[in-house]
Amino acid sequence: MKIMAELFNPKTEEKILEFWKRERVFEKSLKLRQPASKFIFYEGPPSANGRPGIHHVLSRVYKDIICRYKTMTGFYVGRKAGWDTHGLPVELQVEKELGLKNKKEIEKYGVGKFNQKAQETVWRYKEEWDKLTERIGFWLDLKNPYITYEPHYIESVWQIIARIWKQNLLYEDFKVVPYCARCGTALSSHEVAQGYENVLENSVYLKFKLKNSKNTFILSWTTTPWTLPGNVALAVGRDIKYDFVKVNNETLILAQNLKKDVLEEFSQKVLKTVSGKDLIGLNYESLFDIRQLKNDKSYKIYPAGFVNTEEGTGIVHIAPMYGVDDFNLGNFAGLSKIHTVNLEGKFIEDFGAGLKNLAVKSQRAENLIIQHLKNSGNLLRVKKYQHDYPFCWRCASPLLYYAKTSWFIRMEKLKKKLVANNRKINWVPSHIKNGRFGEWLKEVKDWAFSRERYWGTPLPIWRCKDCLASPDPAKRGGAQIAVGSLSAFDELSPKKLNKYIFLRHGEAENNRQKIVSSYPEKKKYPLTIKGAKEIEKLIPWFKKKNIDLIFSSDLLRTKETAQIIAGALNKKITYDKQLREHDFGAYNGRTHEDWHSLFTILIISHANPIIAAASAYQGYKNEETFNLGKKYTIDGITGSILEITGHNWPYNNEGNLDLHRPYVDELPLKCGKCGESMKRVKEVIDVWFDSGAMPFAQFHYPFNKKLEYPADFISEGVDQTRGWFYTLHAVGALMGKGPAYKNVISLGHILDEKGEKMSKSKGNIIDPWEVIDKYGIDALRWYFFTINPPGEPKHFSIRDVEDKLRRFVLTLSNVLIFYKTYSKVSKSDFYNYYRSWTSMALLDQWILSRLHQTIKETRKNLEKYEVTQAARPIDEFIDDLSRWWLRRSRDRFSGKELNAVSAVLKNVIEELSKLIAPFTPFLAEYLWHNAGNKESVHLEDYPKANTKYINVKLEEQMAAVRNTAAKGLALRAEAGIKVRQPLQKFQIPNPKSQTKPKAQIPNELLELIKDEVNIKEIIFGDKFELDTKITAELREEGLIRDLARQIQGMRKDGGLTPKDAIMVYIKGGADLKKIVSKLQKTLISEVGAKKIEFVGVVKDGLLIDRHFKMENEDVWIGIRH
């Protein structure tokens, strides 16, 4: 690959992309490591129904760096892409596009059509995802992804669910769950955790009048006024102290230590104090007159352990259908379980307050409830209250805690295992292990598993209603089953299954002549004599098979084949256009739909349609179809046969295997107890289970024995601690496995520069393409790796990206350009110089020591998955290389040290290329190729530190040198003397007086101070002191240096190389002419001039010329090449 040593830019990256694709470098890097140990990586599946954003770039480059690093250290790192295709996000998008408002409208539209639209929608932005993934250098197998809606993926998920069912960990129950009325479905606790928002809303202080008392009220408090019609009890703490307080003409009861906050607006007098146990059993009057809620248990005071005095009144209002604690107390006390709110989140009646059909969280409903309480004398006060409230993670509607029937997984039973497995995981950042994730596991709740939706993995539970209602416990025990495989559908089929025999036609003239012939037939090719005999030989075999029906393609060669067999078997032939050579796979579904009793069906067709039809019928993907064709060699042999037993499987209207609703809903199974039909429950499962099951389902385990578990590494955003990180962990435990992953990098959120969340409404969203097109991906990658540790939020700043581009990417690019411009190196120079390591210049020994120390630090931190700590030493090394070694070595590139110093720089560039390859893969390739290498740097091994080169003492000495030089430059700045002006003396503290003997500076390094500070001699004393006296000779030397700088700048602007000799013309005063004449040899040497000539007038026809001032005098310089 030829990548010019131009200044690195986004176009350079695009050329490198072309090289990678053309040379199949990613594939080569995998093949190179195939015999090696595996490093297992899981790709968290995104959904392609939304555009990728800047946060996706962050997560993908963090995945990429570790995978690249492990590949270069000798591991085989498979990187299978994945797509998360189910769930509410997709459904809501389809609803919006179709103009559907609720589930009733979806069902009216048609579940099959709705799901088909959903399947199409999930690929809307796939091309954009693929393009961005490629552009950012994230090497991923995009050609063979796992897709969560595919039949075999779902079959693996079902197998896991069946296993959970057998362990009695999956159960159906009626209890309170987080519920989205807009989406019409329950949510899991990990979904709820992703949707909390801090809100300011009304809280209500209520007065419940005690029965058989005169103006005595017990006070309660709620932040959910909509639950008040459902109130049937009050709860107190048995040992909490309660005061009876006189306020105006009423006696109010509330917790003693909350009295001040609650009654701050009222004059008050404490009448008496009691314990909560003294209030138990008292009756009170209901707030709303709802007959269905009344029984002998209702409207009483009960004790409860969850009551506290942190806020409120110390008395909790109980609505059993709308709170977990409420529901549990209701079970304990036998309270009424009647809903006042329907599944659409609306009140079912007026309840004397005009509430019917109002959304419970609407402002109108709240206002009516408060007005009702005022009118009835039950309202004490309304107070604004700020708190976290859960909203639907996808549609943003407020959630309700709502009692309903749902399916659950007993995660609480696995708590110990979940916590124990977490101890074995390396978390980056480490605090998440026992913090955000660990605390979550300690409080783990049973998984609300089912969803009353459409586009998702169907819950594979079939039930027999008759057996479920039977008084016989044995029948009830087998009334429900979990189906864990497609083969189970066949085993439980209510009817016997068809047998299909696919026959490829006998040899035809086009086969003999090796001519491709398909519909429409340009020329009709009959069977050859050989082909007819091939088919005739099969007739005895077909007679034994008891063929019932014969179908055939209507092309001549298949017609003749069918006629030979049909004549012998005395059967009628049905010709079907769909079996033609060009119409692949359309027939399989029809046979299933049209015949469900036992038939043996002969289908005569061509090689490709037979393979495609058989494959589609069994739900195979393209790769599996190809393997099926190889297995049965249909394509190579005329007259060949493929036998398939029919299936009791669900197929969609196109004849494809489809395990989604409504097709799976329509599939009856035979009850093992009574023999009658079993029907599937209507729910689908939590979409997060799909992605959590990917370690098993991505390769169709256990039907395919391949299993890569656990992952060595995963990475996603910090929100996935309650999402994919958790579900992977949970499914692993449910499968009886250890941790699903060994190492995880949890990434902080990307915020805007002010620290605010990015959103379209705020107009602060960053388009990744704009950043990449302007600055290149490697600048953005380096920014993400170095701006702060991965777990911290990133306040995204374009200025910081520009800074990384300038200080890292372009600095290295300029180092390379310098190397290409000035270096001269051969292999012999390289090896000879390195063999004499100890006789190297100390400056070279130092840069190699720094290089290998950096390699050591970077490897150490990458092994710990500490990416930022691995990158920062590289940043420091680049500074050392460019701002010290290269600056102090410039003169060496034009003298006798040229070969040696070139060899050092070449070695540094090559090792650095390999070192940064996982971080900035494009920049690494650019450096590597321009250093003279042909193959990709990504096929190299990652560099190892050679301790021979590490010299800690020298590094300390050089640090002292640089520190001393910096102080000298600071003294120059204080004196207002530019660095180009030589000075005579610089006094530094005597080395013998230094406290660190190792840091004493050798004479060779003292020369570096002299060059850097531009002084003639160093003297030792007690302090730092700079001789600022400028003699005539020093002034003249300074003027020559100024002239040289101007001429060198002009050479560069004129596009000249160091080898280009020039003529220099100068027009200036007599003093300048005198100085130049005196020091002409020095100036000629420094600027690469053949001759310097003073002129009286400005000359024309030059390459470049320039006017400027020196010591307030006008000077003109011209250059001719």
Helix (H, G, I), strand (E, B) or coil at 424: coil
Q: Which residues pair with 385 in a beta bridge?
A: 201
Residue 305 has a CB neighbour count (10 Å cut-off) of 10
Residue of 393, 724, 884, 928 marked catalytic: 724
Helices (H), 381-521: 415-422, 431-434, 436-442, 465-468, 473-477, 486-491, 509-512
Residue of 158, 165, 447, 688 marked catalytic: 688
- Amino acid making up residue 154: I
pLDDT over 60 (residue 587): no
| Pairwise CA distance, residues 638 & 627, whole Å | 19
- Amino acid making up residue 608: N
Q: What is the arithmetic mean of pLDDT over 753-780?
A: 92
Q: Please, are residues 321 and 230 in contact by the beta-carbon 8 Å criterion?
A: yes
Does 896 participate in catalysis according to the annotation? no
Helices (H), 225-333: 259-262, 324-333
| Pairwise CA distance, residues 323 & 348, whole Å | 18
Residue of 84, 583, 690, 880 marked catalytic: 84
Nearest Cα neighbor of 424 from 717, 733, 698 is 733
Task: Indicate if the alpha-carbon torsion angle 949, 952, 953, 955 is positive or negative.
Answer: positive
At a CB cut-off of 8 Å and minimum separation 6, what does 18 contact?
none
Q: Please, are residues 1044 and 1071 in contact by the beta-carbon 8 Å criterion?
A: no
Q: Which of the four pLDDT bands, split at 50, 70 and 90, describes residue 585?
A: very low
Supply the pLDDT for residue 760. Answer: 76
At a CB cut-off of 8 Å and minimum separation 6, what does 877 contact?
850, 851, 854, 912
Question: Of the ranges 686-700, 935-949, 997-1011, which one carries the lowest mean pLDDT score?
Answer: 997-1011
Cα dihedral 897, 899, 904, 909, rounded to 10, equals 130
Q: Which residues pair with 275 in a beta bridge?
A: 241
| Pairwise CA distance, residues 853 & 877, whole Å | 9
Q: What is the arithmetic mean of pLDDT over 974-999?
A: 79
Supply the pLDDT for residue 589. Answer: 32
| Pairwise CA distance, residues 836 & 559, whole Å | 84
Q: Which of the four pLDDT bands, split at 50, 70 and 90, describes residue 1086?
A: confident
Quick: pLDDT tens for 134-158.
Answer: 999 999 999 999 999 999 999 999 9
pLDDT over 60 (residue 583): no
Supply the pLDDT for residue 591. Answer: 35
126 labeled binding residue: no
| Pairwise CA distance, residues 532 & 506, whole Å | 6
Quick: pLDDT tens for 412-448.
Answer: 999 999 999 999 999 999 999 999 999 999 999 999 9
Does 45 participate in catalysis according to the annotation? yes
First-to-last C-alpha distance (Å) of the chain: 32
Supply the pLDDT for residue 773. Answer: 97
Quick: pLDDT tens for 854-904.
Answer: 999 999 999 999 999 999 999 999 999 999 999 999 989 887 888 889 999
Q: What is the arithmetic mean of pLDDT over 643-667?
A: 92
Q: CA 579: distance to chain centroid?
A: 44
pLDDT over 60 (residue 34): yes
Take residue 892 and report the two structure tokens written for it: 């060496």
Does 757 participate in catalysis according to the annotation? yes
Residue 760 or residue 126, greater confidence: 126
| Pairwise CA distance, residues 100 & 712, whole Å | 44
Query: Could you tell me what percent of the chain has a pLDDT over 70?
Result: 94
The model's pTM: 0.89
Does 760 participate in catalysis according to the annotation? yes
Query: Could you tell me what percent of the chain has a pLDDT over 90?
Result: 77
Quick: pLDDT tens for 527-547.
Answer: 999 999 999 999 999 999 999
Supply the pLDDT for residue 981. Answer: 94
- The number of CA neighbours under 13 Å toward the Cβ of 657 is 23
| Pairwise CA distance, residues 287 & 1019, whole Å | 95
Supply the pLDDT for residue 597. Answer: 47
| Pairwise CA distance, residues 192 & 402, whole Å | 14
Residue of 214, 760, 896, 1059 marked catalytic: 760
Q: Please, are residues 564 and 552 in contact by the beta-carbon 8 Å criterion?
A: no
Q: What average pLDDT is seen over the chain? A: 91
Quick: pLDDT tens for 912-923.
Answer: 999 999 999 999
The residue with tokens 């029919």 is 646
Quick: pLDDT tens for 933-945.
Answer: 999 999 999 999 9
Helix (H, G, I), strand (E, B) or coil at 399: coil
Supply the pLDDT for residue 1099. Answer: 87
Q: Which of the four pLDDT bands, split at 50, 70 and 90, describes residue 628?
A: low
Supply the pLDDT for residue 590. Answer: 36
pLDDT over 80 (residue 322): yes
Helices (H), 136-278: 151-166, 189-192, 259-262
pLDDT over 80 (residue 627): no
Q: What is the arithmetic mean of pLDDT over 714-738?
A: 96
Residue of 757, 1052, 1090, 1091 marked catalytic: 757
Q: What is the arithmetic mean of pLDDT over 765-771?
A: 95
Q: What is the arithmetic mean of pLDDT over 278-291?
A: 96
Q: What is the arithmetic mean of pLDDT over 989-993?
A: 70
Take residue 198 and report the two structure tokens written for it: 């801090």
Residue of 116, 720, 845, 853 marked catalytic: 720
**What is residue 58's DSSP assignment?**
H
Does 767 participate in catalysis according to the annotation? no
pLDDT over 60 (residue 998): no
